Structure 1
Amino acid sequence: MPTPPPTGPLVTRDTLRGQLRDCGVRPGETLLAHSSLSSLGWVNGGAVAVVRALLDVLGPDGTLVVPAQTADLSDPATWSNPPAPEEWWSAIRDTMPAYDPLITPTRGVGVIPETVRTWPGALRSAHPQTSFAAVGPRAAEVIEGHAPDCRLGERSPLAKLEDMGARVLLLGAGYDACTSFHLAEYRIPSPLVTVGRPGPGGWETVTEVSISSDRFDALGHDFERDRPVVRGRAGAADVRLFPVADAVAYAEGWLARHRPRAGEPE
């Protein structure tokens, strides 16, 4: 059968740049972008065109930040999509390469963050599972000091972005991808869990705050209802734009009311 033609709209670096400006992205700001390339339509130039458009709008004084997570650097006993056979677990733990911010690819966050990670001049934070990558004059400020036992809490780039007045851009991504909500989980607080991962000296375990994006869609719905959120379109994608600090503050109250604490009934 013949290959069907691509579906639109046709998106270019120029059209996307104009639409992002119309949505309110400002030159010189620091922007934490969560994105879905496929949601935009047919993008001429793919992820490279999207990153160029974002950097165009931010200008030379702006900084682009993306999640650069590597969830596959984790205990195979917790894998479910797909699961690993139990008889493989020991060998996987023994041979899994340790995190290297220069070469370890992103996993599960889309092609746009992976493109930013490899962009000339990009910097990446040190956490082996929940790193962030950044391009721009404030990149070092954002990514430095990401503690290896603090995935998305006070010693992560999220707290830096909150203090810096950064904003979140949801570019075709839903609120389930909004990492800023996780910072609120550290402040409720959430229960602790043991996390396994490969380390420089072999397999290691650390104690971490339990994080989950469960009900983030409902949280985002209420946040958008109750707080100022800029809404727009880019290509075929929905766009949301709001301050990191607003998202964290709202999520603290919402999660405390709507999520059961450890030991409480569901």
Structure 2
Amino acid sequence: MILVENLIAAVDALHLAERPVMLHASLRSFGTAVDGGADALLDALLKRGCTVLAPAFTEPQFGLPAPPDLRPARNGLDYAAPPAGSTCQEGVPYRVDCGLINPRLGVLAAALVGRAGAVRGRHPLNSFAAVGPRAADLIDAQSPDDVYGPIRELTDHDGRILLVGVGLNRMTALHLAEQRSGRRLFRRWARDEDGEIRMVEVGSCSGGFPRLEPLLAPLARSTVVGASHWRAYPARQVLAVASAAIAARQGITRCPEPGCLLCRDAIAGGPVVS
């Protein structure tokens, strides 16, 4: 069994103490039980003074179909197809205290959102949540019009991106690198706090991000806990290297799916928005 002391030792080995850390984790990657589950992983980081940031997305619960008069071209969507996996109640706007997340994010995101003292962003589809001493600083940077503000704050505070048993396809910060490379973010629809339907910016396909591995691997510190491979990356350097690589060769992020509309339109520059 993995104990919290083992997790704290890994945090120390990666020099994460006192830093903001954007966390992406798979508990299954440990290959054995973690005593305390996802909360133990959060506790290990918090005991070392870290602020933990993670995606808390809610596309299935609050995403709406595209209104007929708000359908930009090259937007990674087939507007004739119904939204996949939607559980949305169309009259209900997102609220930061809704307690919901996309189930695909896993138990870590659910545990973070439920923590006492956790702070959550106001973006209705791609909110982030954070807990720890700098949580408010990170999350206050997000709004419905600024989806990746918390990641910018992470870089400004010399933060780290921690992958626990997962690959680069889970590194949400690379969507900000796409934007910095010159791509426009995709548009989707949700109700704002007043119940009005509005467009908001979201990320694209992440299935091709592992193709950046040769460029990003030299930036990482690594350690192993049980069967779980941990990698900690400096956020500022990751964004600089990835943005330059995507700008130089847009097709570098193309995923293995030949018919991926998200990849096709992102590589072409993203949506055409007046």
Aligned mate of 1:64, from 26, 29, 52: 52
What is the distance in 2 between the residues matched to 1:209 and 1:115?
Answer: 23
Q: Is the 8 A contact 1:11 1:43 kept in 2?
A: yes
| Other-structure match for 2:12 | 21
Q: Is the 8 A contact 1:192 1:207 kept in 2?
A: no
Alignment partner of 1:53 is 2:38: no
TM-score by length of 2: 0.78
Q: What is the deviation of 1:161?
A: 0.8
Percentage of matched positions with identical amino acids: 30
| Other-structure match for 2:133 | 137
What is the distance in 2 between the residues matched to 1:102 and 1:93?
Answer: 16
Distance 1:31 1:263, change over 3 A: closer
After superposition, give the CA deviation of every residue in 1:178-219 in whole Å (9 maximum; x if it has no partner): 111111111122135431123334351315365331410111
Q: Is the 8 A contact 2:126 2:202 kept in 1?
A: no
Unaligned runs of 5+ in 2: 67-75, 252-266
Alignment partner of 1:105 is 2:100: yes
Distance 1:257 1:21, change over 3 A: same
TM-score by length of 1: 0.80
Aligned mate of 2:155, from 162, 167, 174: 162
What is the distance in 2 between the residues matched to 1:46 and 1:193?
Answer: 35
Distance 1:203 1:165, change over 3 A: same
| Other-structure match for 2:70 | none
Matches within 5 A, 1:1-266: 10-22=1-13, 24-40=14-30, 41-56=32-47, 58-59=48-49, 62-72=50-60, 73-75=62-64, 92=88, 94-95=90-91, 97-107=92-102, 108-152=104-148, 156-191=149-184, 193-202=186-195, 204-206=197-199, 208=201, 211-224=204-217, 227-260=218-251, 261-262=267-268
Distance 1:112 1:94, change over 3 A: closer
SS at match of 1:65: strand
Superposed structure 1 runs of 4+ greater than 4 Å apart: 76-80, 83-86
SS at match of 2:123: coil
Q: Greater RCO between the two (CA within 8 Å, min separation 6)? A: 2
What count of residue pairs does the alignment treat as equivalent?
A: 241
Q: What amino acid is the match of 1:98?
A: P
